[in-house]
Structure 1
Amino acid sequence: MAVKLRLLYGLPIVDIDVIFDGRKLHIKNVLLDTGSAGTILDADVVSEIGVKPEGTDKTAIIHGVGGTEIVFTKWFDSVSLGDWFVKSCKIEIGVMDYGIDIQGIIGFDFLRAAKLVIDTDKMLVYSSM
């Protein structure tokens, strides 16, 4: 089943569900970004399900169009978009102060793992399988 894309600030937006340590969260306003290698979620949003920085977390400095940001990495049980999900996902967590109201970015890592296709004519995301 295809997922409808909507536009926010002219950008492709979807909603996703994540599970971390058995706790599920629905996240709205997530940017689909084929130019982002990884997936990043807003720290304030995922704190609702117990995601917080710990001493054993890997940290990194990421660079993008929105600027530079320090993030920490967590392994989520799963990330799902519509009917498609990826288990055991490495996700970067950061402040995401980019000047637009998004709560995360689905990067190429998820799109590739879930084998998703973006149809910009019909504004749909669907599986290539």
Structure 2
Amino acid sequence: MVKLTYKNGLLYTNLLLCHDGKEVLVEDIIIDTGAFHTILSPVFLEELDTEVALDDEIVNAYGLGGGICSSLRKRIDKISFGNISIDNVRVDFGEIDPKDRINGLLGLDLLKASKVIIDVVEDKIVLKNDI
């Protein structure tokens, strides 16, 4: 189970990125079931101090207002939130908010891959198998 924080009308959690033996904690990630793919600020890619790999790709994302922004889609060894972990996952690193108020969006790709259920009554995420 992962306890979520409810603030400003949104649900938040923290993510731990593990890649090439390094770990970076990304705090205050918005749970966004409307986001097709998880995206994090490129600041955290810099903190991982990793290099661009041959299988990385540049992708375009379309926001709510129709704006287009490019990001780097990179394979990460492991992402964890609470007791939930996903190995060998591709994550986008790019600009989410031009004013840098948002660290990232936990999108439908990772929510589905982790097989979780979001409980909006008790502000928590649970593994489907734990119910």
Normalising to structure 1: TM-score of the pair? 0.88
1:8 Cα offset (Å):
3.2
Which deviations, in whole Å up to 9, do the C-alpha atoms of 1:42-84 show, x marking residues without a partner? 0012211114656763111101226421101110001111111
Of the structure 1 ranges 57-66 and 77-86, higher mean CA displacement relative to structure 2 is found in 57-66
Residue identity matched to 1:13:
Y
Structure 2 portions without partners, runs of 5+: none
Cα pair distance change 1:100/1:4, threshold 3 Å: farther
Residue aligning to 2:102 = 102
Residue identity matched to 1:33:
D
Structure 1 portions without partners, runs of 5+: none
Cα distance in 1 for partners of 2:51, 2:92 equals 11
Let me know the Cα RMSD of the aligned residues.
Answer: 1.9
Cα distance in 1 for partners of 2:112, 2:19 equals 21
Residue aligning to 1:116 = 116
Residue aligning to 2:17 = 18
Secondary structure of 1:71 counterpart: strand
Residue aligning to 1:30 = 29
Q: Is the CA contact 2:55–2:74 (under 8 Å) kept in the aligned structure 1?
A: no
Secondary structure of 1:25 counterpart: strand
Q: Give me the identity figure in percent.
A: 26
| Poorly superposed stretches of 4+, deviation over 6 Å | none
Residue aligning to 1:128 = 128
Residue identity matched to 1:16:
L
Cα distance in 1 for partners of 2:95, 2:50 equals 13
Matching of residue 82 in structure 1 with residue 82 in structure 2: yes
Cα distance in 2 for partners of 1:4, 1:98 equals 28
Of the structure 1 ranges 90-99 and 38-47, higher mean CA displacement relative to structure 2 is found in 90-99
Normalising to structure 2: TM-score of the pair? 0.87
Of the structure 1 ranges 95-104 and 78-87, higher mean CA displacement relative to structure 2 is found in 95-104
Residue aligning to 1:57 = 56
Residue identity matched to 2:87:
K
Which deviations, in whole Å up to 9, do the C-alpha atoms of 1:9-47 show, x marking residues without a partner? 211110010112221111101011111111111001221
Residue aligning to 1:40 = 39
Cα distance in 1 for partners of 2:45, 2:127 equals 26
